[in-house]
Structure 1
Amino acid sequence: MSLAFRIAARELRGGLRGLRVFLICLALGVAAIAGVATLRASIQAGLADQGSVLLGGDAEMRFTYRFASDSERAFMATHAARVSEIVDFRSMAITPEDQALTQVKAIDTAWPLYGTVTLDPAIPLDQALEGQNGLPGAVLDPLLIERLGLAIGGTFSLGTQSFVVMAALIDEPDTGADSFSLGPRSIVATPALATSGLLAPGTLYETKYRLALAPGTDLETLEKAAKQAFQESGMRWTDSRRPAPGIERFIDRMGSFLVLVGLAGLAVGGVGISAAVRAWLQGKEKTIATLKTIGASSGLIFSTYLIQVAVLTLAGIVLGLIIGAGVPLMAAPWIEASLPFPAKVGIAPAALGEAAFYGALTALIFTLLPLARAERIRAAALYRGGVSGWPRKRWLALLGVLIVLLVVVAVFTSGIPELALGTAGGVLAALAVLALAAWALRRIARRLSHSRIAQGRPGLRAALAAIGGPGSEALPVILSLGLGLSVLAAVGQIDANLRAAIDRDLPTRAPAFFFVDIQPDQIDPFIEMAQANSAVSQYETAPMLRGVVTGINGRPAREVIGEHWIIRGDRGVSYAAAMPEGTKITAGSWWPEAYQGAPQISLSAQVAEETGLKIGDEMTVNILGRDITGTITSLREVDFSNAGMGFVIVMNEAALRGAPHSHIATLYAPPEAEATILREVTKAWPNITAIRIREAVDRVSEALSAIATATAWAAAGTLLTGFAVLIGTAAAGERRRAREAAILKVLGATRARIIASFTLRAAILGLAAGLVAVVAGAISSWAVMYFVMESSWRFEPVPAALIILGGVAAVLLAGLVFAGRTLAVKPAQVLREDG
């Protein structure tokens, strides 16, 4: 090994000619993973450090439909130094000219326990909520003020209560603890809602009790005590250890997904790494032959060049880590200011270690075969300029072990095994398909170069012959471009299909409005209004309650069905006597219309399939602090894709009829009638909240667009690595293209014709890579739309055309980098060297 180190050191002193692509590809791949992992770790650190501020307390006890009972309040008073009560619900903010959906936060004088509120003008919060001229005050999100055309001092109504706008809400400290909102924020004092009609029994609201605890309080012990004392009441617990579980899940999943996309980019870089090492070793043929002639063993040859590759790998990893950690650090002020939750951007050793491990393993995987082949090559074959021999079986076995190790580590570190396995399988399958496409392109080009199509077209024939002949660039070009373009193609197709579905299907399938908080004495007049309005083509109504699934077959629900979404938070629950029109029963049967026996449940068939629940199982749902246990007697289809009415859980009428509740309704009407309907409803019943479906879908679309943008940027990183591979491929083939140009010049070809031939070759390769990427992206997007989104799919030509044009442009650009130098070589010089 000491001799191997001495030889390796001497060769490294000769420079890195031919291995710059190796360094660039490895550094870019490591940088992408390090950057994403650093941001993920920074956000997680910010959530942990600012947990109490983000939550608004050290702990929170949450209830649906009700305020805390005396015993629950006593528990809080015993364990907390301070308690803040918050009422959270949706309502309509109404002015004489307009109305808009708002998320209302009604607070007491203790709020906020942690953090500060920023208002404009900068007045104390208690002063703002006192109001003026006999009206209580409110602070509103600037978007809501603009939407309603209000100004400071203007008035609006929530339900039957009028408020005066005292300030704009600039910053709210505990936004991380709040769930997804369909409307901008309004903050009022809870006592001001006493006569508003918005907190009547059965209306949809949540109460949140934030607790400020003594330093050193054992949160785990307190959580167990609270759940043991109130496990039957539907109380939900959150504390500063995980202040925003929804945000954490999203960050974890999004971060893991982007790391996996980064691994795909590293795989593309691996193609460049392998090609660079192969070309580098070909340039070392005489050196290796000389070493073997004077007695160097195969092991010494392998060790010598493995050491050099290891040194370069270390350099590439260090460079990638510097870029991956340095860019977030330099952009820290902008990142921290732009995120809606706290982040502490800094050096994250675990994240950097993860990126370094992936980089080292990828470099070893893609350099092992070229190094192993050099070990088997004979000196005589090297002097003749030939390359022969396959690696020993032990190196092939080691390669298989390394690939399995990479996949296993990715699966366990991602936290999402299914996604990691799917991504690994997808990348391997994509690489195999792209390699097959490159092989097919070479065969087709070889045949076409001798066909009638190429006759009389020397430029086309030369281009086809170069693609189909020895030393073809088809494989590295299609592999390096194809994977990145495939991801972009899939993202483009999914985004275009989602937008098209919204524009095409929403007006015909979805209702115009969701109306909630319709009181029992208002439902009949509401139906009469809907029937009397000629613009209303269809309407649906149903009783509405909210409940928490707490038990399955006498056991805690989490023990039976894990962390399924149905037990995270409260769910909409309804009741019905007769089976609603259009219901499709997939198993079991509906109860008799006059049924008065023990509670029965009709459950979503999809939820039953996902959780393993079946007919005859018992489910316990806590509603308004009371546990109701029913037997599942039927499973039915529930379709949420049309934004219409649907309940995962429906019970028989006798089980829930006596509980305080409200009703919901959907109205179908053309867009031009929406404003008139909204004015009519809010004027007659100010407490009823109207949710415009199009506005709600727009909010969801914004979130999906943000995810698509993040994925597209990650794919762009893969493309950047692929472009580096293209540059390396062009550099490696520079001498061969110079020889082609020299021969063509000798045969009488003009400079313009040679450039045209090279351009045509690049265009064909780029076109092939783009076409393969479009097909792969279309298949992937169809799978996502059909299986994940459960929506229709159709091919969108515009993003596909952009992908193809991008592929052609990338290959042309990479070729142009060396075109001038290739054409400048004199034929005599090339022919003398070949001679």
Structure 2
Amino acid sequence: MRAFRFNALPFGLRFALRDLLGDPRGFAIFIACIVIGVAAISGVSGLSRSLEQGLAREGRTILGGDASFSLVARELSPEQRAFFAARGRLSEIALMRAMARRDDGEAAMVEIKAVDPATYPAFGAVALDPALPLPEALAEKDGAFGIAVDPILLARLDIKLGDPLMIGAARVTPRVKLESEPDKLAGGVGFGPRVMMSRAALAATGLVTPGSVVRHVARVTLNGNVSDEAVKAFAQSADAAFPQAGWEARRRDAVSPQFSRNLERFTQLLTLVALTALVAGGAGVANAVQGFVERKRMQFAILKALGATGSRVFAIALAQVMAAAAFAILLGLAVGALIPWAASEALRQAADLPVSAALDARGAFYGALYGLLVTLIFALPPLGRAHEIPVAALLRDDPRAARLWRYRAGAALAAIALGALVMLSSSDLKLGAYYVATSVAAFALLRGAAWITMRVARALPRPRDARLRLALANIWRPKSLTPALVVSIGLTQTLLIALALVEGAIHNELERADAGEIPNFFFIDAPKTQARAFNDFLAEQVPGAKIEHVPMMRGRIVEVKGVPVERITVVDDVKWALEGDRGVTFSATVPANSQLVAGEWWAADYDGPPLVSLEQRIAEGLGLSLGDEIKVNVLGRETVARVASLRKVDWRSYGINFVMVFSPNTFAKAPYMELFTIAYGAPTVAARDATDAKLAREAAKRFPMIVSVRVKEALAAVDKIAGQLALAARAAAGLAIVTAVLALASAVASGQRARLHDAVVLKTLGATRRWLATAYGLEFGVVGLVASLIALAAGTGAAYAMVTLLMKIDFAFSVTAALATTAATLAVTIGLGLAGTWRVLSRRPGPELREL
């Protein structure tokens, strides 16, 4: 193979590379902005891919077998159990919520996992402290079953290992701490600490009664070393053999579809935040390229004077910029490739997630493409000056001589391609479309605000204070920093305000709980035979409280208009309604917190074919209208019901709400439990907490089978999860801050030449360094304030849409968060602006005048 000859390259490319290698000044910020954005995008994608591979690799361990089949309120039939046992090894567990209480009545909700200690776990290992064998830890001794407990329960009830507890009608003894369980991820998110017990202990509690909300999960490990295709075929054969089973089936290659979908959505969200960081750094790219053209102005003029065409000069400049961009993209991909390895151990320790660090070619491709398109969007307009400006204009530094429309058109095409790429790579098309529309609107708004600011500054009467006059002149003069500053500050602050307000809205839900605006407690699994007695008990404990209760069962939709749900396509917003079992009820009247929007409610004494009222948004997402039929499986029995009405449900009330409400005759004879809510206020938070504690304690004493769920604690659990997700979002947003700061620094640097001339002349006329610093501080303060006001409006709008449309909770504007973010932005803008111009302020007039 012949050695590479540099001289064999075309002249334009050879000249460009030699010039770039000989004088790479000014590209540091350019490269940093691209590296940060590309690394973030490819790194987030790589980390998501590593999680997916970890789930796939550990699927058998997480699921507890090759396939699992879960049923609510019922176990496998003998025929189903025989079917599974004939094809592999069968193990079963039961999951339910209950109350664990001390002898003095102090109680806490727990998440029970009942297992067969002899066969559990089928894969992996349970970590216990002290390290006892699981059969020994859960065995019955001295009339009490042993249990393994989450250490949180010990702290919550202020007990230690060996202290007795009551769960239902059984006395149990916490013998070991439950440090980890291999199949924890498959169980989903719980709102109480885990308690692991034997299935015999669960039977002794008396909690499992007809209609109680207990999930029975059967795990099957197939004989031999079977492939994923064989496992899929087995699951399909089980569905075909028992078409009316109504179970939720999972396979080892799809352990938790909901977790995978949430991971996909959160990955996309972080990718969009990282893309925002890349775009925010685009101003730094533009400023760096503009500074590059300024530095090479004389060289370009000489090339044109020697006969080089505008196209040749433009090609040379473009080659240098793209060479720097290629280096930055490669460096960004290298850094991004390291992120999964750097974060994998932290994720394993913090969230017990199975991460299998690996390279992600798809993420690297998209990261590189994003970096290339952003470079073209922000580099083409300033590069156009090298082509369009004639020799004389280059020598005179006349910016008005350029006709940049063709390069702006090229940048616009690159922006369209970027938007198309976002849509193409988006797992949630609606979210991608929102992002593109919001980004275009934000850019248009910020650029429009910059233009208006410049026009207003020019039109204002000349102030008497010379410092203010200089500040206003700097805002509107040619090559002003105003557009770059407004865009960089505005994009970053919009993102920060949106994140702060979303977090504030989540925290506000907890404050609503303290204020008594939402129910204090949900009480589940109340036997219908005890409904009246429990209602009287609640009224006695908290006189004047608002008490509601309805029948509740669990069921799942299996057919929509005669088509199995597996074969229909639904929008992402309503997929959750088809995932597993949902709560269903029946009622003679329209439920509270619901408003009838279509159809009519049935008569109280209706006794015809089953009817159902659906939540409007779910019905529309499933393509259902009045008169259509759906088939539901409730307690193993399939029922076909006709859609009689549609309701708009106020989910933000946290009251008793259901997607499906049936006519009373549909399930009048079915076994069911009652669901209660109670809401009350208190003069102080302390008094409210005392009432909550007393009610939970007395309910656990007198009705040990009924589970009390304190809404505030459930919201706190959700708030904790949201806080962890917000931490990741803030980390990605931090990258946007870094790139925005770099863009601001490059903007200040690109304007130093003009400021140097001004400072020299003004110092010659008697201006002091303090006088100039005040003038520049006023300039940056005014521009920063304008950008902050625009960002405040845009960020508030984005947060409102996310909170009300996506999260379905009340929006609360946080004045503190908005003011703090705005004040910090102004301080950083003014500080960075003055720091960037310090070199100008420190120059002595004499030497500079000799060079003018």
Normalization by structure 2: what TM-score?
0.94
CA distance in 2, matches of 1:583, 1:470: 60
The aligned residue for residue 140 of structure 1 is 149
The aligned residue for residue 522 of structure 1 is 530
> After the TM superposition, which residues 720-731 of structure 1 pair with which residues of structure 2 at under 5 Å, given as runs?
720-731=738-749
Most deviating of 57-66 and 824-833:
824-833
Q: Indicate the SS of the match to 1:13.
A: helix
Shift in Å at residue 397 of structure 1?
5.1
Most deviating of 784-793 and 669-678:
784-793
The answer to whether the aligner puts 1:405 opposite 2:405 as a matched pair is no
The aligned residue for residue 553 of structure 1 is 561
2:615 pairs with one of 592, 600, 604: 604
The aligned residue for residue 91 of structure 1 is 98
Cα deviation digits, residues 553-602 of structure 1 (max 9, x gap): 22112434536221111111111235556753222222222222211112
CA distance in 2, matches of 1:413, 1:810: 35
The aligned residue for residue 169 of structure 1 is 178
Most deviating of 753-762 and 690-699:
753-762
CA distance in 2, matches of 1:225, 1:394: 62
> After the TM superposition, which residues 413-812 of structure 1 pair with which residues of structure 2 at under 5 Å, given as runs?
413-448=425-460, 450-451=461-462, 454-455=463-464, 457-504=465-512, 507-562=515-570, 564-580=575-591, 584-670=595-681, 671=688, 672-812=690-830
Counterpart of 1:138, as a letter, is I
Q: Indicate the SS of the match to 2:91.
A: strand
Cα deviation digits, residues 675-722 of structure 1 (max 9, x gap): 222222211121111100111111112222223332222222111101
CA contact (8 A) 2:773 2:834 kept: no
Cα gap change, 1:251/1:152 in structure 2, threshold over 3 Å: closer, same or farther? same
Structure 2 portions without partners, runs of 5+: 1-8, 682-687
CA contact (8 A) 1:769 1:807 kept: no
Cα deviation digits, residues 429-474 of structure 1 (max 9, x gap): 11111111112222233344x44xx31x222222222122222211
The aligned residue for residue 276 of structure 1 is 288
2:189 pairs with one of 174, 180, 203: 180
Cα deviation digits, residues 596-627 of structure 1 (max 9, x gap): 22111121223223322111111111011110
1:216 pairs with one of 220, 226, 232: 226
CA distance in 1, matches of 2:679, 2:351: 37
Counterpart of 2:765, as a letter, is L
The answer to whether the aligner puts 1:56 opposite 2:74 as a matched pair is no
The aligned residue for residue 846 of structure 2 is 828
Cα gap change, 1:281/1:583 in structure 2, threshold over 3 Å: closer, same or farther? closer
Cα gap change, 1:501/1:125 in structure 2, threshold over 3 Å: closer, same or farther? closer
Shift in Å at residue 142 of structure 1?
0.3
Most deviating of 66-75 and 735-744:
735-744
Q: Indicate the SS of the match to 1:521.
A: helix
Cα gap change, 1:327/1:745 in structure 2, threshold over 3 Å: closer, same or farther? same
The answer to whether the aligner puts 1:386 opposite 2:398 as a matched pair is yes
CA contact (8 A) 1:137 1:164 kept: yes
CA contact (8 A) 2:513 2:712 kept: no
Shift in Å at residue 790 of structure 1?
4.2
CA distance in 1, matches of 2:595, 2:314: 68
CA distance in 2, matches of 1:350, 1:786: 33
CA distance in 2, matches of 1:741, 1:831: 11
The answer to whether the aligner puts 1:347 opposite 2:359 as a matched pair is yes
CA contact (8 A) 1:336 1:345 kept: no
> After the TM superposition, which residues 247-286 of structure 1 pair with which residues of structure 2 at under 5 Å, given as runs?
247-286=259-298
Cα gap change, 1:582/1:151 in structure 2, threshold over 3 Å: closer, same or farther? closer
Cα gap change, 1:647/1:504 in structure 2, threshold over 3 Å: closer, same or farther? closer
Counterpart of 2:95, as a letter, is D
1:45 pairs with one of 50, 53, 66: 53
Shift in Å at residue 810 of structure 1?
1.9
CA distance in 1, matches of 2:836, 2:696: 65
Q: Indicate the SS of the match to 1:667.
A: strand
Q: Indicate the SS of the match to 2:190.
A: coil
CA distance in 2, matches of 1:351, 1:717: 18
CA distance in 2, matches of 1:736, 1:393: 25
Counterpart of 1:612, as a letter, is G
CA contact (8 A) 1:89 1:104 kept: yes
Shift in Å at residue 389 of structure 1?
5.2
Counterpart of 2:615, as a letter, is S
Cα deviation digits, residues 256-313 of structure 1 (max 9, x gap): 1111111122112222212211221122222122212222123322221222112101
Cα gap change, 1:536/1:199 in structure 2, threshold over 3 Å: closer, same or farther? farther
Cα gap change, 1:9/1:788 in structure 2, threshold over 3 Å: closer, same or farther? closer
Q: Indicate the SS of the match to 1:436.
A: helix
Most deviating of 159-168 and 606-615:
606-615
CA distance in 2, matches of 1:784, 1:44: 26
1:368 pairs with one of 360, 372, 380: 380
Shift in Å at residue 509 of structure 1?
2.5
Most deviating of 9-18 and 94-103:
9-18
CA contact (8 A) 1:488 1:803 kept: yes
CA contact (8 A) 1:484 1:716 kept: no
The aligned residue for residue 4 of structure 2 is none
Shift in Å at residue 780 of structure 1?
1.8
Counterpart of 1:88, as a letter, is L
CA contact (8 A) 1:586 1:637 kept: yes
CA distance in 1, matches of 2:315, 2:849: 37
The aligned residue for residue 111 of structure 1 is 120
The answer to whether the aligner puts 1:28 opposite 2:40 as a matched pair is no
CA contact (8 A) 1:542 1:665 kept: yes
CA contact (8 A) 2:788 2:822 kept: yes
Shift in Å at residue 792 of structure 1?
4.1
CA distance in 2, matches of 1:726, 1:530: 61
CA contact (8 A) 2:776 2:834 kept: no
Q: Indicate the SS of the match to 1:771.
A: helix
Cα gap change, 1:815/1:27 in structure 2, threshold over 3 Å: closer, same or farther? same
CA distance in 1, matches of 2:324, 2:257: 42
The aligned residue for residue 3 of structure 2 is none
CA contact (8 A) 1:271 1:725 kept: yes
Cα gap change, 1:58/1:790 in structure 2, threshold over 3 Å: closer, same or farther? closer
Structure 1 portions without partners, runs of 5+: none
CA distance in 2, matches of 1:724, 1:230: 62
CA distance in 1, matches of 2:248, 2:340: 36
Cα gap change, 1:341/1:327 in structure 2, threshold over 3 Å: closer, same or farther? closer
CA distance in 1, matches of 2:400, 2:814: 47
Cα gap change, 1:579/1:746 in structure 2, threshold over 3 Å: closer, same or farther? closer
Counterpart of 2:254, as a letter, is R
CA contact (8 A) 2:560 2:622 kept: no
